[in-house]
Structure 1
Amino acid sequence: MKRQGYDGVVLAVPVSVPYIRYSNETAHWWIARALRGMLEQADIAPRDLDGFSVSSFSLFPDTPVGLTQHLGLCPRWLDTVPTGGASGVIALRRAARAVQAGDVDVVACVAGDANRIDSFRTLLTGFSRFSMDATFPYGFGGPNASFALLMDAYMAEYGATREDFGKIAVAQRANALLYPDALMKTPLTLSQYMDARMIADPISLFDCVMPCAGAEAFLVMREEEAKQRALPFARISGTIERHNAFADDPIQLRGGWVMDIDELYSMAGHGPEAIDLLQTYDDYPVISMMQFEDLGFCAKGEGAGFVRDHDLTISGDFPHNTSGGQLSVGQAGAAGGYLGLVEAIRQVTRQAGGTQVADARRAMVSGFGMINYDRGVCSAAAIIEGSGR
Structure 2
Amino acid sequence: MKTVRRLPYDGVVVAIPVTIRYARYSQESAQWWIGRALKALLSESGLQIGDVDGLSISSFTLFPDTAVGLTQHFGVCARWLDTIPLGGVSGIAALRRAARAVQMGDARVVACIAGDTNHVDTFRKTLESFSRANQDAVYPYGAGGANASFALIARNYMRTYGVSREDLAKIAVSQRDNALRNPNALLKRRLTVEEYLAARPISDPIHLFDCVMPCAGAEAFLVMDRDFAVSRGISGAKLLSTIERHNAFAQDPLQLRGGWVMDIDELYAMAGIGPDELDVVQTYDDYPFVTMMQLEDLGFCKKGEAAEFVRKHDLTINGSFPHNTSGGQLSVGQAGAAGGYLGVTEALRQVLGSAGPTQVPNARSALASGFGMINYDRGLSSGAAIFAGPSA
TM-score (norm. length: structure 2):
0.98
**1:8 matched residue in structure 2:** 11
* Matching of residue 146 in structure 1 with residue 144 in structure 2: no
Separation in structure 2 between the aligned mates of residue 2 and residue 353 of structure 1, nearest angstrom: 38
Which whole-Å deviations, capped at 9, do the CAs of 1:60-102 have from their partners, x for residues lacking one? 0111011111112111110011100000011000000000001
Alignment counterpart, residue 268 of structure 1, candidates 266, 271, 277: 271
- Greater shift in the superposed pair: 221-230 or 116-125: 221-230
Alignment counterpart, residue 368 of structure 2, candidates 349, 365, 368: 365
* Matching of residue 257 in structure 1 with residue 266 in structure 2: no
SS at match of 2:303: coil
Give runs of aligned pairs for residues 151-300 of structure 1, distance below 5 A: 151-300=154-303
Query: Deviation at 1:47?
Result: 2.2
Give runs of aligned pairs for residues 336-347 of structure 1, distance below 5 A: 336-347=339-350
Structure 2 regions of 5+ residues with no counterpart?
none
Query: Deviation at 1:168?
Result: 0.3
* Matching of residue 72 in structure 1 with residue 72 in structure 2: no
**1:126 matched residue in structure 2:** 129
Alignment-mate amino acid for residue 235 of structure 2: P
Separation in structure 1 between the aligned mates of residue 274 and residue 184 of structure 2, nearest angstrom: 32
Separation in structure 2 between the aligned mates of residue 364 and residue 48 of structure 1, nearest angstrom: 29
Alignment-mate amino acid for residue 24 of structure 1: Q
Separation in structure 1 between the aligned mates of residue 181 and residue 229 of structure 2, nearest angstrom: 29
**2:322 matched residue in structure 1:** 319
Alignment counterpart, residue 304 of structure 1, candidates 296, 303, 307: 307
Separation in structure 2 between the aligned mates of residue 227 and residue 73 of structure 1, nearest angstrom: 22
**1:34 matched residue in structure 2:** 37
Alignment-mate amino acid for residue 332 of structure 1: A
Alignment-mate amino acid for residue 371 of structure 1: I
Which whole-Å deviations, capped at 9, do the CAs of 1:305-334 have from their partners, x for residues lacking one? 110010000000000000000000000000
* Matching of residue 46 in structure 1 with residue 19 in structure 2: no
**2:140 matched residue in structure 1:** 137
Structure 1 regions of 5+ residues with no counterpart?
none
Alignment-mate amino acid for residue 343 of structure 2: G
Alignment-mate amino acid for residue 51 of structure 1: G
- Alignment: residue pair count: 389
Separation in structure 2 between the aligned mates of residue 226 and residue 173 of structure 1, nearest angstrom: 35
SS at match of 2:98: helix
Alignment-mate amino acid for residue 68 of structure 1: T
SS at match of 1:104: coil
Query: Deviation at 1:153?
Result: 0.3
* Matching of residue 380 in structure 1 with residue 383 in structure 2: yes
Give runs of aligned pairs for residues 33-112 of structure 1, distance below 5 A: 33-112=36-115
Which whole-Å deviations, capped at 9, do the CAs of 1:191-231 have from their partners, x for residues lacking one? 00000001000100000000000000000001112212222
SS at match of 2:321: coil
Separation in structure 1 between the aligned mates of residue 177 and residue 236 of structure 2, nearest angstrom: 27
* Matching of residue 353 in structure 1 with residue 332 in structure 2: no
Query: Deviation at 1:232?
Result: 2.0
Identity of aligned residues (%): 65
Spell out structure 1 runs of 4+ moving beyond 4 A.
none
Separation in structure 2 between the aligned mates of residue 226 and residue 311 of structure 1, nearest angstrom: 37
Query: Deviation at 1:134?
Result: 1.9
- Greater shift in the superposed pair: 134-143 or 109-118: 134-143
Separation in structure 1 between the aligned mates of residue 191 and residue 51 of structure 2, nearest angstrom: 46
SS at match of 2:241: strand
